Every structure is written in C-alpha cells, then in structure tokens.
A and B are shown apart, each in its own frame.
Chain A
C-alpha cells in the first residue's frame, strides 16, 4: 500500500503543476468576470427603459397612452418640437435608445375604429447581446398601446362588459401528469425548471471525462517521451498498481478541475439567467408534488453511474496513452474519446435519446458514456430498467477495458505498441 501511495502522490504532483493551477485560476476568474458583466448588463436592461416621445396629436387618447407607458415602467421623455427630424436629432443628442412618434389624428382615428400608424426609431449604438434585448422594447410598447387603446374603446362602447373577458373568452387551466402524479402547471414551466436544475450534470460529466482522460493519456505519453517508463516498469511494484495509480491520480485531479470549472460556470450562468431557485417560486412546490425531486437513493444511483463512466473513460484513456509516442501525439489520441463524450452530451441537450432512430440509438447506447447522461432523467421518471441496463453495461465495458489495459502493461506491448499516423498502421 505504501508503494502505491508513493506512486499515487508522484502522479498527482506531476499533474498539478504551476501551469495547471494558473489555468484553473484564470478560467475561474474569466467565468466570474463574464458572469458579472452579463449580470450588470441584464440589470441595465431590466431597469426603467427610457423612451423619447414626440406627441403630434396631443389628444386625450395620446395623453392616456403616455400615462399608460409610465405605468408599465417606461421613463417617458417628451420632446418639445413639432418637427420629426428635429425630434430624431434631439433623441440622438440625449443618447436615448428609442423614439416613438405619435401622429396627428391618432385619437380621432381610434374613436372611428380606424387603424393608425405610429413611427418607431431605435438608435443602435452597438451589436452586443444586451443591445439585441432592446429590440423587444417596441413590441412591448406596441402591445401595451394596443391593449390600452382597445380597452378604452370597448369600455366606451360596451360599458357593462369587461374588455378582458371580451377579448379572451377562452382561458386555460394547465395540468401536468408525470407518471401517476398530477399538478396544475404548464408543461413548459416544469420541463424548463427540471432542465435548468439538471443542466450541470452533463456539463460536469463531460468536463470530468475529458479532463481526466487527457491527463491519463498525457501522463503515459510523458513517461514515454521523458524515457521514465522503462525504469518505472522495472521497480518492484505490480503493473496493475502502476495503471491504477495513473488512473486514480487523473480521476482525482480531473474531479478537482471539474469542480473548480463548475463553480466558475455557476457564476457565469447566474449572471446570464439569475438565481434559478430564487426565481422559480411556486414551481418548486409543484415539482415536489410531481415527485420530480432527486431523493438520496436517486443521488447515490446517479453517483454510481457517473463513477462508472469515469472509470470507463480512464481505462480507455490508458489504452490510448500506450499508443502515444510522445506528448504531441497524445493530444491527437484524445480525439476519439472526446467525440464519444461529446456525441451523447450534445444529443442529451438537444434531443431525447430514447426517440432516436434505431441505428442512431444503437450507436448512442453502445457508447458507455451515453448512459450517465440519461441517468438523471431516468431517475426522475423512474425508468429503473434503463438505469440498471446502463450500470451493468458500463461495468462490463470497464472490466473489458481495464483487463485490456492491465494486459498491455504486463506484456511487451506497453513498450512496442505505437500508433504511427504517417504510416497509418498499428505496430504491435
């Protein structure tokens, strides 16, 4: 055991170097910074929006419209002029983002139930994401204006009827059924909430799998490049311990990197979307009613699934690492593994893996890393058969891979097996 811990400590020391620590800190800081900037911009966009108005009508209807805009948190700045071009110049000078021109005769036209045209001007001063959000502002203004004007007309014509009831005679009560549990909520709200809560699982998984695998491949390739592998293989420690120490060290450092990046990513996402749980309000209660919360047992199953996927990746990376001649070729050899992680990762975000065509489904299910991407959903939906199949499949794949890796390390192949790109042949 002492020999193993000696080797494990060396492996971890080799992996955690100054460059890695700097890269951790830099990435964490970068995520944090982007999140902060995004949050500041989002706050700016949510703040009372300034809008310049040129009211050429000055009727009771147009004045009412302006009051209504103020009610829905618009900061209205009326321009004292009668000329459109002068109004545009003034709005630009005052650095206002929008200008709305109410034409002469709006009030009269509305009274006669005629459609009137108002002109809107947006001053684009950059092409950032926050600037793009402003494009929605006029849609809100127009909707509010139409709502106000139609309500005013309806109140006058049919004073005994509520304008809202008249315009929307049908209202829906939405129910969601998950397995046998029913709750009053919209399906999109529930699906959106569960997605937002579990979005981190595939991200962490993809990160751990790729980082850990890259570390194992690089560690073995570096041993070859620095000519230290031969000496290590002749010291009195079993070959399986050498393989296990490399895998465990990469797993530990990979997990650490994933946690650090995840913390940074959470800051980033918080900046973009705000605090999900705080904003969710009543949805969390409905989620509980529907039984869509992760229990302790579910969490344990999820961890087992993630752990097996990591073991499969590390064992596969060990085999790929043996094929590498040096550190440079190791960077190319990681690619097949990255694809095997990215395919289910991307599919799990954009599609339902269960509804894929049969050939695609066979391909995806054959990749061991696909199963943990589905496990979180399967736990919530109580699809135990899929979970058990995934765990057994990953375990079997791990046994085959680790046996192959240990076999390679205990034979000549650890020194003689190379993948030569130029010759495109495996030399055994």
Chain B
C-alpha cells in the first residue's frame, strides 16, 4: 500500500509548553488510522497541524510527497477536516451549505452536483436538508458536517472525534459510513478518546499520551503485545 501521509519527529510548542514531543507515524492509502489517548494527549494538536490550522514547531509532515511548510495549499486541496466542535452556517439551508463548500473543491457545476448527491446520501437527512441549519439538532449538524467532509472524496479525511455528541444509533451509522468510504480507497486519520470506537474502526492505531506516541500497530497486534482484551486495557498497560 502506498504511503500518503508521513509525519516525522513532529513537535509543537505553545510558548514554553511542549504539546507534541516528536511524534512520527504514516498513513497508507485506504487505511483508517486512529489516534487514541486521553484529553490533552496531543491528538487534536496533531490533527490541526495536518489540517493546516496550526503551524508546526519542528519536524516534517508530507502528504503525497508535498511538504506542509512549503505547500499548505496542496494539503488543503487534498484533505478535508472535521473538527471535534464544528458548526455550519445557521442561515444557510443544508443543501446551500453543501453547495457552498463543494464550490471550493471543483469549478464545474457537474462535479458540484455529484458532490452534493453523495453528501445527501451520507447525511440521510431527507427533506430537512432544505431547512436552515439553525433548525437542526446537534446530531443532524454532525451528520451534515461528516457528509461535507466525505463528499469530495479527499485523499485524506481528518476526523476529530467523529461521533462526538451523537446518540448510539447515529454513532453506529457514522461508523458504517466511514468504513464504507475507506473500502472505496479513502484514507482516514481519526482521533477519539473512545477507544472501543477506534478499535472497531481502525486498521492501525497509535497510542498517544503527553505528546508522545507510546505504541503503533493494528488493534490485534497491540492487544497481543500488551496481552489485553481490548484497547482500553492496552492503553492503561502502555501508560504504566
């Protein structure tokens, strides 16, 4: 499998505080790569750097061979980012929001139509897509945002806590959608503190704590290495 994302010795400082202490990992094409760790471990900082929201202090990040520092615009063309706490424009309807976002990724109306059709299928909001986003529930907004993130079939989808705020049924649906798109060749980098969710979704997982990666491997490899029944126990043993 081709490597599409390379992260090498990534460091991030906020003043004197070192949030990331030299982390390295790779994401392959069609792979779901999960970052798991407690709050404040550095998961969101890592995702935000790759999503071009934060600048890196040291290290290298490459997507399809493009360097993040030199070509942030190439990153933006090939990724889509779903932040943990995200919203959509309340005065736009669901469809208008999707159309507004689609226009940044392609110039042709035919492509926009394809993007929107795909998003309509993913969001599964039916006629409510014609209502203003301001009238949506939190779960509906989250599904709309996930549809926005996946509709352009990016090279890499960066999903921060993708099921955050969703009920059990909606969470299951979202996980199925992510799995389905990965099977079609989409690469996903996701983070979650719900380790069971990551275990279900991810092909490979990195355990991250206090800005350091403790271990990387498939959920099966990690469970064997730490002789644990699930990733929660794996993480506890890795930290110990």
Contacts and interface: CB of A to CB of B under 8 A. Distances in A.
A6 interface: yes
Contacts of B137: none
Nearest to B86: A227
Interface in B48-105: 48, 51-55, 73, 76-77, 79-83, 85-92, 100-101, 103-105
B107 interface: yes
A230 interface: yes
- What class of interface size applies to chain B in its complex with A? 20 to 34
Given A6-B103, A226-B87, A226-B89, A236 B77 contact: yes
B86 A231 contact: yes
B90 A230 contact: no
Interface stretch (A9-17, A171-179, A186-194): A9-17
A415 interface: yes
A14 B91 contact: yes
Contact of B104 (A17, A226, A237, A411): A237
B88 A228 contact: yes
B91 A235 contact: no
Contact of A6 (B87, B89, B92, B104): B104
A154 interface: no
A83 interface: no
B60 to A, nearest CB: 18
Given A230-B81, A412-B54, A415-B53, A235 B101 contact: yes
Nearest to A414: B53
Interface residues of A, number: 22
Contact of B73 (A2, A236, A416): A236
A415 B54 contact: yes
Contacts of B104: 3, 6, 235-237
Given A3-B103, A10-B100, A230 B91 contact: no
Interface in A11-26: 13-14, 17
Nearest to B133: A226
A238 interface: yes
A230 B103 contact: no
A366 B104 CA distance: 41
A110 interface: no
A233 interface: yes
Given A14-B91, A235-B104, A227 B54 contact: no
Contacts of A6: 100, 103-104
Contact of B79 (A17, A230, A234, A237): A234
Contact of A13 (B87, B91, B105): B91
Contacts of B52: 233-234
B73 A227 contact: no
Interface of A: 2-3, 6, 10, 13-14, 17, 226-228, 230-231, 233-238, 411-412, 415-416
27 contacts: A2-B107, A3-B104, A6-B100, A10-B92, A10-B100, A14-B89, A14-B91, A226-B88, A227-B86, A228-B88, A228-B89, A230-B53, A230-B81, A231-B145, A234-B51, A234-B76, A234-B81, A235-B76, A236-B76, A236-B105, A237-B76, A237-B104, A411-B55, A412-B53, A412-B54, A412-B55, A416-B14
Interface of B: 14, 48, 51-55, 73, 76-77, 79-83, 85-92, 100-101, 103-105, 107, 145, 148
